[in-house]
Amino acid sequence: MKKTILILSFIAITGALFAQKKTTTSAIVKFDASTKIDDLPKAENKTVIAALNTETGAIAFEASVKNFAFTNPMIQDHFNGGNWMNSDKFPSFTYKGTITDLSAVNFTKEGTYKVSTEGTLTVKGVDQKITAPATIVVKGTSIVASADFSIKLSDFGITGAPIDAGKVAKEPKISVNAVL
């Protein structure tokens, strides 16, 4: 009997530990660098790895650069090329951060929670601090985390004639959505 109680206790504790970290391999990151001159520099990546630790507020995602899909193959080639993302040398970008006001979220109660996040975005080997508002939606056993923010391409060493000519936004919008 003692052995059974011990085993059941171990299973319950193990289950609680695993419930603290939620992950997915199908988060979505959208990249929108469109301008009034050109509406084509938009892409979407549906194979992003994302994680959220509900106890510590740690959040992270990693996206393969080559998995961003553009409607125009020529733009996709430029995006992955040496002057832009240089995806052969820098195959992914990452974000590691935290929910700064974690106490505003009750992961055991359904609801929509507005939070703030801060962390480090790494693109082309360059780290930049990012602060962004985010939304956490708790529904049943799933958690949906989303955030929208902009970055300055020049902060990551991304420059070029299309940016200077106004065909590509200097500060593209990034949207992240993960069902965990």
pLDDT tens for 53-72 read: 999 999 999 999 999 999 88
**Residue 76 contacts residue 43 (beta carbons within 8 Å):** yes
Helix or strand holding residue 117 (H, E): strand 111-123
- Residue 52's contacts (CB-CB under 8 Å, 6 or more residues apart) are 21, 22, 23, 58, 59, 143, 145, 178, 180
**Residues 133 and 147 sit within 8 Å (Cβ to Cβ):** yes
* pLDDT score of 19: 55
- pTM, full prediction: 0.85
Q: Does residue 124 contact residue 158 with C-beta atoms inside 8 Å?
A: yes
For the chain, 180 residues long, give each residue's pLDDT as a single digit of tens: 444 343 434 444 444 444 589 999 999 999 999 999 988 889 999 999 999 999 999 999 999 999 999 988 888 998 999 888 999 999 999 999 999 999 999 999 999 999 999 999 999 999 999 999 999 999 999 999 999 999 999 999 998 888 889 999 999 999 999 999
CATH superfamily of 21-179: Lipid/polyisoprenoid-binding, YceI-like (2.40.128.110)
Give the residue extent of every domain in the chain: 21-179
How many C-beta atoms lie closer than 10 Å to residue 153's C-beta?
18
d(CA 133, CA 179) in angstroms, rounded, equals 17
- What does the CA dihedral 85, 96, 144, 64 come to, rounded to 10 degrees? 30
Helix, strand, coil percent values for the chain (each to nearest 5)? 20, 45, 30
Closest CA to 149 of 180, 112, 127, 121: 121
Which residues fall within 8 angstroms of residue 130, CB to CB, at 6 or more apart? 95, 97, 117, 118, 119, 120, 121, 149, 151
